[in-house]
Amino acid sequence: MQFAKADADAKQLRKLAGGWLKELRAAAGLSQIQLAQMLGFKYYTFISQVENGFGRVPTESMEAWARALETDPSQFARKLLSYYEPELYRLLFEVKK
């Protein structure tokens, strides 16, 4: 049962991440198609999947996404980590010595 809850939590966090990414894209004045082109994707559907919580920004392309969305790559990656790997994020940035 705990795995089912963890899976549901992960899906909810991916949806929240997707909403945040959509806001960044809108603030940058880009359509999904334009962002996909900037990132070298043949189709924009991957952008849509990520924004709807059905996918994740791959770690190896976080910097490219950040630059396309006109945001600091380090802060961008940190924010995504808080959504995608909340326990790792907590250990890295919130645990006090």
* Whether residue 2 has pLDDT greater than 80: no
* Reported pTM: 0.89
CATH number for position 65: 1.10.260.40
Structure tokens at 22: 């959509």
Residue 52 CB partners (closer than 8 Å, separation 6+) = 15, 18
Rounded CA gap, 31 and 1, in Å?
40
H/E stretch holding 97: none
What's the number of domains the chain is made of? 1
Rounded CA gap, 71 and 49, in Å?
21
Domain extent at residue 78: 2-93
pLDDT digits (tens, 9 = 90+) for 8-67: 788 999 999 999 999 999 999 999 999 999 999 999 999 999 999 999 999 999 999 999
* Whether residue 97 has pLDDT greater than 70: no
Instruction: Please tell me the predicted confidence (pLDDT) of residue 62.
Output: 97
